[in-house]
Amino acid sequence: MKKPNFFIAGVSKCGTTSLHNYMDLHPDVFMSGTKEPHYFIKDILEFPHKGPGDRQRKNIVDSIEEYRELFQDVTHEKIVGESSADYLYYSDSAEKIKAYSPDAKIVFILRNPVDRAYSAYTHLTRDGRETKEFEYALEKEEERKRNNYGCLWHLKSMGLYFSSLKHFMDVFGEGNIKVIISEEFKRDSHKVLNEICDFLNIDHFDEEKLNLMNYNVSGIPKNKKLFSLLRNKTVTSVVKIFVSDSEKRENLKNLLYSRLLKKENINPATREKLIDYFYSDIKKLEELLDTSLDHWLK
């Protein structure tokens, strides 16, 4: 059985779900049906997580046998991959991945950390897990971390990319690491996907067959009761009966989400405070990646 040799290892709310699904469309790529197995941080995470609706041990892949089963259907594919968006945040996973798959290629998607923090907040709000204002959530972050809330609640901490990314580069070597800037991925997805193909040494995508859509959309529900009904397990089960094609279901979900979720802007004063918080880390990241991230500081 083939081991994974490709990991989308971070960061949550940066586009990892979309990238996982896009890569799975490539004929030379097999992506695990289970996204976010978190196998290589299973011994790092401390359960139970105590935030409302947090993932628990039963929600992750906890044994090597179960992990291997994720890839039992691999046939001819050259690239075998999985996506766990929290690997970068828990950077001790680097050594664990390296020990299991020494020649692995790792992709990270990094988003403006201010926007990423707010997207994580709206994701929690969308799911009814966060009921307070963004500023309150920021104020309570350290307390929530001490109380072992899951990392999605670590709104600011998860946006400090530099140290963890450097650690992965030190472990795997820069040639085995591909860093994508989320805003570039959103602006020209085809170009970035083909850059990943070059990184993995596989043919470019056939763009005519590539249907790109947004996945895991966040936002503030316009009507909480109606949105909650949409996410009800009974309702989703009925939808699966009448819309059997998974791609059509995803398109339908995105259409409904676009109608039921609203995008709100961060308070300008809050944005300024967050830019100050992330400034030093962004500057170190610029030097590490030899690229300008000035657009993150506006």
Bridge partner residues of 107 (DSSP): 8, 178
Is residue 77 helix, strand or coil? Answer: coil
What is the pLDDT tens value at each position of the chain, 298 positions in all?
Answer: 789 999 999 999 999 999 999 999 999 999 999 999 999 999 999 999 999 999 999 999 999 999 999 999 999 999 999 999 999 999 999 999 999 999 999 999 999 999 999 999 999 998 889 999 999 999 999 999 999 999 999 999 999 999 999 999 999 999 999 999 999 999 999 999 999 999 999 999 987 767 666 666 666 666 666 666 666 665 566 556 656 666 566 666 666 665 666 678 899 999 999 999 999 999 999 999 999 999 999 9
Q: Helices 113-126 and 268-289: crossing angle, nearest 10°? A: 120
* Of the candidates 175, 187, 170, 163, the residue with the CA atom closest to the CA atom of residue 15: 187
The CATH code for residues 6-113+159-215+269-297 is: 3.40.50.300
* Of the candidates 113, 110, 117, 120, the residue with the CA atom closest to the CA atom of residue 8: 110
Rg (CA), the chain: 19
Q: What whole-number distance in Å separates Cα of residue 257 and Cα of residue 236?
A: 14
Give the start-to-end residue ranges of the domains of the chain.
Answer: 6-113+159-215+269-297
Is residue 141 helix, strand or coil? Answer: helix
Bridge partner residues of 109 (DSSP): 180
Q: What whole-number distance in Å separates Cα of residue 36 and Cα of residue 47?
A: 16
| Range 158-188 burial, b when 16+ CB lie within 10 A, else e | bbbbbebbebbbebbeeebbbbbbbbebeee
Bridge partner residues of 70 (DSSP): none
Is residue 292 helix, strand or coil? Answer: coil
CA distances from 25 to 28, 45, 72, 209, 247 (A): 9, 31, 18, 9, 11
Q: What is the pTM of this model?
A: 0.87
Q: Which spans in the chain are helix H? A: 16-23, 64-69, 93-100, 113-126, 134-139, 141-146, 162-172, 182-187, 189-200, 224-230, 233-242, 246-260, 268-289
Sign of torsion over alpha carbons 239, 243, 247, 253: negative
CA distances from 92 to 46, 65, 97, 142 (A): 14, 22, 9, 21
Q: What whole-number distance in Å separates Cα of residue 17 and Cα of residue 250?
A: 12
Q: What whole-number distance in Å separates Cα of residue 139 and Cα of residue 27?
A: 46
Rounded to a whole number of angstroms, the distance between the first and last alpha carbons of the chain is 48
Q: What whole-number distance in Å separates Cα of residue 7 and Cα of residue 178?
A: 10
For residue 107, which amino acid is it?
V
168: its two tokens: 């992965």
| Range 24-36 burial, b when 16+ CB lie within 10 A, else e | ebbeebbbbebbb
Quote the pLDDT of residue 247. Answer: 58
